[in-house]
Amino acid sequence: MRKYLYIIIGIAALAACKREIDFDFAEVEPILMIEGRVTDEGTEVLLTRSRSVYDAAKPKGLPGAQVIVSADGLQEHLTYDEATGFYRSPLKGQPGTTYRLTVDLEGHHYEATSFMYPPAPLLSAEFLWQTINQERTLVYELWATDPQPDVRNHYWYRLDRTFHHPHFADKTTYDAYRWNVFDDRGCPPGRVFRDVMCMSEKVATEDDKDDWDKILYEGDTITMRLMVIDQPTFDYLRSLSTGQRNGANPTGNIKGDPCLGYFMAASVTHADTIVFRYADVRDAK
């Protein structure tokens, strides 16, 4: 009887040990963030500053910088767009070209280079139901032509959506639904293949509040971009994806005073924009 009494007392003591833990995040001075892109659709650079982990406000673009993109004797001065906060130019990148970015802001100089590879023409892109770990799972299956079958190429896909959230009838939202990077190892010869995991059928059916950002709803507008990127851009985005899980800063390719970010030259291909309907999704063979 005494043994059971000790067990009960022990359980009660453990239950009483619950307490709140405050995480003391170290505050550091804001650091310049540079995000630069030259594609076959145009050129844009965004300059912002890092924010406190407690600051949820969207960062604003920084005006007043001299931003130049150059290549093979070409020198393009980008113009600041007050409405978006981006520095922009209609300059369209050409595959086989190395582009150089220079940024001068408040007496500090930054620079980076990036090589532009040929595009990967899309062959097909569609949503499918697949059984994964005994769960019916929605995937976005992507097939493209490998632009250089004898070269290790690197890719960045972005699956974006615009949706009128059923739980917030007055709110239309645009977000990067799924993105990641990969290379062509393991792909069939001359082909690029990727299955993008979206959600399980169970998650969609239960419609739990914690899963709303994972769920695709009827009527969501879906766009997909596949970009062929160079190794430094791949390394940055891969470290960014990993860092989001462990709190580490990604490894950028920009030289100069301490800063975060990347500069890339990339060829882009698009899948057809679709309006998501469950009735349109077929089972994988």
Above 60 in pLDDT, residue 56? Answer: no
Q: Would you state the pLDDT for residue 169?
A: 66
pLDDT score of 9: 44
Residue 50 has pLDDT above 60, yes or no: yes
Task: Give the residue with greater pLDDT, 73 vs 71.
Answer: 71
Count other Cβ atoms within 10 Å, centred on residue 219: 12
pTM for this predicted structure: 0.84
Higher-scoring residue by pLDDT: 63, 8: 63
- Give the model confidence (pLDDT) of 196-222 as tens digits: 999 999 999 999 999 988 999 999 999
pLDDT of 261 above 60: yes
pLDDT tier at 14 (50, 70, 90 boundaries)? very low
Domains within the chain, CATH numbers bracketed: 32-117+232-267 (no CATH), 122-229+269-283 (2.60.40)
Check pLDDT > 70 for residue 253.
yes
Q: How much is the pLDDT for 60?
A: 84
Q: Which residue has the higher pLDDT, 156 or 17?
A: 156
> Which pLDDT score, from 0 to 100, does residue 53 have?
46
Q: How many CB atoms lie within 10 A of CB 69?
A: 26
